[in-house]
Structure 1
Amino acid sequence: MSSPTELGPSPLAQGDLQISVAEARARIAARLSPIGGVERLALAEALGRVLAEDVISPIDVPAHDNSAMDGFAFRGVELLPEGDSRFRVAGAVMAGDAAPPAVAPGECLRIMTGAVMPPGLDTVVPLELCREEGGVLSVPAGSLRPGENRRRQGEDLARGRPALARGRVLRPADLGLAASLGLTELPVIPKLKVALFSTGNELRDAGQPLDAGCIYDSNRHSLAAALRRLGVVEVIDLGLVRDEPAALQATLERALREADVVLTSGGVSMGDADYTRDLLTRHGEVAFWKVAMRPGRPFAFGSLRRPTGDGPAWLFALPGNPVAALVTFYAFAQEALWQLAGASRAPAPRLQARSATAIRKRPGRTEFQRALVEPAADGSGWQVRPTGSQGAGILRSMSEANALLVLGHEQGSVAAGEMVEVWLFDGLV
């Protein structure tokens, strides 16, 4: 794992330079490596976790040649090129029968899906392609080729071959595959520990009296939910922290003792009460403080020294406005957390859709607009339109959206009907 000093000097020392979204993403990815470690979990508990080691198949799958469907099994060489091929039905073989009977030339067996192929038989005709009368099977010429509808031993997975690769985020089909190999547990990477807190004297927890000039804290709830939905994170909720040096210092020290990642919201702008900036620079190296984006310009990333002397705790300091906090989480923190968790997961899908409206935008920053993607009324594909007000503090329009409409750094205003990039929430959250 990288050490804190490998980040190099903070641009803050040279005057708070602003970098692009692409550069910020690249800087973050270049500095992170997985936390490592292994724990073993029962299959029922492993969904969504990251596989810590390759899983090697201990058996062939399938374990024997078997029928791919219900029908009749016979020797493919006995199919006639013209007219009906006829076979005497000599019995039946069911799925689970250990020793199917042998048959003589010109004979066949009724067979069920998954049943072991009898010795010497290599072809199965589906029930709907043949007829049986008086114990005689008739197969029309050209209805199938020799060898069809037989699954070969080891066809899906051969013994000794990798079944699941290290770094895979385990999905339902993966757990089924592991069970088909006779496995009862899997090695996974331990969950990342992420310390989460919000800063601001004006914040109150839901359920508390709302004093004059104060607001309820929504960020911890939305960010904690986004973290938990990843499936690879243990959230350490450190609550609300006042913009006071002693309170911030105590909270940060606890976070560095307990967590791999420190995720904050608020306190990274240029306000007079933003002590967080000074505190963070005393505890480590902050790679950058500003990103050319809207919303989310005041965003910080860096490494912080842990009192244990282990590798660094990674800092993601998000803006305080509710939408900006979520947008920067999706744009920067989410993929970084997958990387730290050791996942080889593909990036979230980026799609193209037709803008239903004209959108004003100036080059020189990336803009993320809350938007709704839906089928175009004329059936011409997908279209996207912004949802309501795009102010950084208006969470309702984020709740009503199903995607982020992303306008690139050098992109200017968009005309109605123009194709634009969208990040679907189903791919993000």
Structure 2
Amino acid sequence: MARTPVAEHEGRVRALLAPLRTRDAETVPVAAALGRVLAGAVLSPIDLPPFRNSQMDGFAVLASDLAAGLPLPIAGEVAAAAGTPDPLVPGTAVRIMTGAPIPAGADAVVPVEDTVVSVDAMVTIASDWAAGAYVRDVGSDLKAGAQLLPGGVRLASRHLAALAAAGITGVAVSSRVRIAVISTGSELVAPGEALGPGQIADSNGTALVAAARDVGAEIVLEGRVVDDHEAFEALLVAAIAADAELVLTSGGISQGEYEVVRETLEPRGALVDVLAMQPGGPQAIGSFDGIPVVCFPGNPVSSQLSFLLFVEPLLREIAGLPDRIRVTRVLDAPVTSVAGKRQFLRGRALPDGRVETLGGPSSHLVAALAAADVLLDIPEDATELAAGATVETWEL
């Protein structure tokens, strides 16, 4: 049986999910905006800093008073606190703290380490200082009305700090992609439940929910269903009711019996296919009442790698995240692969640029995947790679 190349299915999924790139904007509190993507540029409503203030602990002076080199009487003190200090009297100095407002009439700050204070409250300046020294002028960081942050930036802590400094409490961000995750299989039970004969814990739901959230998506429904057409369809209806924009399923798309996803969606026009890849050969895409559905195999490693290959790239783009890092490394031992299949082996990167494989190619080896920090991408036409051969790896 001819198998579809991975790249062709990547294109199918990309086309199916292309409408998700157009995001509505929503306003969220700055405190809840970490990791969100700005829907548009943000302008500062105020000057930053909003008032002249001192860059150092020291003395506020009029620079021209320093020319004679004579001690100046200390006329007062200004702390970093609310209020407006009294103007500086020419011929005097005012002790000032970092961040404190500079008194009117002062045009320089002399750091305390460059001064000598006598017991009679006089200060001697060690050298001449020019006007503007250690003075943070109004708007020297950013003028009111200037762009504080550009649209499209993914908000990190430094961005939130700038927004807070400008007094901004809410920002317009792109809405998150709303995803429903449905695990299928009569053998599945919730993680932590006692396993009966023939039962396994549903790890796919946990993995897909976590993977989607990790790249900025919002999970609006997480469900698990036995191999029953009506029960599965009811969960699809529930996903739509939860306002899902995308449904991800695992299991139920092979060529055997009890393939509930294939049996439900294929009559609605879904494309069910087998790809030239290992693990993760069975794949399907379709829609349910206008909502795209991307269907992964039920084997847990296959499900996780399928998400990484086919859905994660678009979600990363929408969330303003970079692509996964790909690095060429050197095999520390020979590798064999199946002719005609692009194989994704689990591995561990070694400090010297080599990479070792972990476990085998089977799609049930969740412990090996958990121990891995890279995937080895073995091309379809490679059947044997010797130790020392180079291979592309994807960082996990």
Say whether residues 1:160 and 2:138 are aligned partners: no
| Aligned residue identity for 1:47 | L
Give the C-alpha shift of residue 236 in structure 1: 0.6
Q: Is the 8 A contact 1:16 1:289 kept in 2?
A: no
- Residue aligned with 2:208, SS: helix
Q: Which residue of 1 aligns with 2:96?
A: 111
Q: Which residue of 2 aligns with 1:283?
A: 268
The alpha-carbon distance between structure 1 residues 419 and 249, as it changes in their structure 2 partners (threshold 3 A), is closer
| Aligned residue identity for 2:123 | V
Q: Which residue of 2 aligns with 1:347?
A: 322
Equivalent residue in structure 1 for 2:210, among 217, 222, 225: 225
Q: Which residue of 2 aligns with 1:295?
A: 279
Q: Is the 8 A contact 2:225 2:231 kept in 1?
A: no
Say whether residues 1:196 and 2:174 are aligned partners: no
Give the C-alpha shift of residue 318 in structure 1: 1.4
- Residue aligned with 1:18, SS: coil
Give the C-alpha shift of residue 120 in structure 1: 5.3
Whole-angstrom distance in 1 between the partners of 2:146 and 2:333: 54
The alpha-carbon distance between structure 1 residues 132 and 209, as it changes in their structure 2 partners (threshold 3 A), is closer
Give the C-alpha shift of residue 206 in structure 1: 3.8
Whole-angstrom distance in 1 between the partners of 2:131 and 2:386: 59
- Residue aligned with 1:32, SS: helix
Whole-angstrom distance in 1 between the partners of 2:81 and 2:386: 63
The alpha-carbon distance between structure 1 residues 245 and 127, as it changes in their structure 2 partners (threshold 3 A), is same
Q: Which residue of 2 aligns with 1:313?
A: 291
CA RMSD of aligned residues (A): 3.7
| Aligned residue identity for 2:365 | I
Q: Is the 8 A contact 2:209 2:219 kept in 1?
A: no
Give the C-alpha shift of residue 356 in structure 1: 6.7
Q: Is the 8 A contact 1:406 1:421 kept in 2?
A: yes
Query: Unaligned stretches of 5+ in structure 2?
Result: none
Whole-angstrom distance in 1 between the partners of 2:378 and 2:125: 66
Q: Which residue of 2 aligns with 1:385?
A: 356
Q: Which residue of 2 aligns with 1:9?
A: none
Give the C-alpha shift of residue 233 in structure 1: 0.5
Whole-angstrom distance in 2 between the partners of 1:79 and 1:301: 78
Q: CA deviation digits over 1:302-342, x for unaligned, max 9?
A: 4x142xxxxx4222211211112112222332333355xx5
Aligned residues: 386
Q: Is the 8 A contact 2:278 2:361 kept in 1?
A: no
Give the C-alpha shift of residue 58 in structure 1: 1.3
Say whether residues 1:32 and 2:4 are aligned partners: no
Q: CA deviation digits over 1:265-306, x for unaligned, max 9?
A: 1122333443523532433554x744444332323344x142
Say whether residues 1:20 and 2:3 are aligned partners: no
The alpha-carbon distance between structure 1 residues 60 and 320, as it changes in their structure 2 partners (threshold 3 A), is same
| Aligned residue identity for 1:149 | Y
Percent identity (aligned): 33
Whole-angstrom distance in 1 between the partners of 2:389 and 2:130: 52
Give the C-alpha shift of residue 185 in structure 1: 3.0
The alpha-carbon distance between structure 1 residues 290 and 60, as it changes in their structure 2 partners (threshold 3 A), is farther
Say whether residues 1:423 and 2:392 are aligned partners: no
1:26-425 superposed matches below 5 A = 27-30=12-15, 31-34=18-21, 36-74=23-61, 88=72, 89-96=74-81, 98-103=83-88, 107-119=92-104, 121-128=106-113, 130-134=114-118, 135-140=122-127, 147-206=132-191, 210-242=195-227, 244-258=228-242, 259-284=244-269, 286=271, 289-302=273-286, 304-306=287-289, 312-339=290-317, 342-343=318-319, 345-350=320-325, 352=327, 354-355=329-330, 357-360=332-335, 366-373=342-349, 376=351, 384-401=355-372, 403-407=373-377, 409=379, 413=385, 415-416=387-388, 420-424=392-396
Structure index of larger Rg: 2
The alpha-carbon distance between structure 1 residues 210 and 410, as it changes in their structure 2 partners (threshold 3 A), is closer
Give the C-alpha shift of residue 420 in structure 1: 4.6
Whole-angstrom distance in 2 between the partners of 1:138 and 1:404: 61
Q: Is the 8 A contact 2:301 2:369 kept in 1?
A: yes
Give the C-alpha shift of residue 397 in structure 1: 1.6
| Aligned residue identity for 1:99 | T
The alpha-carbon distance between structure 1 residues 190 and 354, as it changes in their structure 2 partners (threshold 3 A), is closer
Give the C-alpha shift of residue 393 in structure 1: 0.7
Whole-angstrom distance in 2 between the partners of 1:373 and 1:277: 38
The alpha-carbon distance between structure 1 residues 109 and 236, as it changes in their structure 2 partners (threshold 3 A), is same
Q: Is the 8 A contact 2:215 2:321 kept in 1?
A: no
Whole-angstrom distance in 2 between the partners of 1:38 and 1:229: 20
Whole-angstrom distance in 1 between the partners of 2:42 and 2:161: 13
Give the C-alpha shift of residue 53 in structure 1: 4.4
| Aligned residue identity for 1:295 | P
Whole-angstrom distance in 2 between the partners of 1:231 and 1:25: 20
Q: Is the 8 A contact 1:50 1:232 kept in 2?
A: no
- Residue aligned with 1:99, SS: coil
Whole-angstrom distance in 2 between the partners of 1:193 and 1:77: 64
TM-score, normalised with respect to structure 2: 0.79
TM-score, normalised with respect to structure 1: 0.74
Give the C-alpha shift of residue 366 in structure 1: 4.7
Whole-angstrom distance in 1 between the partners of 2:102 and 2:255: 74
The alpha-carbon distance between structure 1 residues 86 and 283, as it changes in their structure 2 partners (threshold 3 A), is farther
- Residue aligned with 1:157, SS: coil
Give the C-alpha shift of residue 43 in structure 1: 3.5
| Aligned residue identity for 1:227 | A
Give the C-alpha shift of residue 59 in structure 1: 1.1
| Aligned residue identity for 1:185 | G
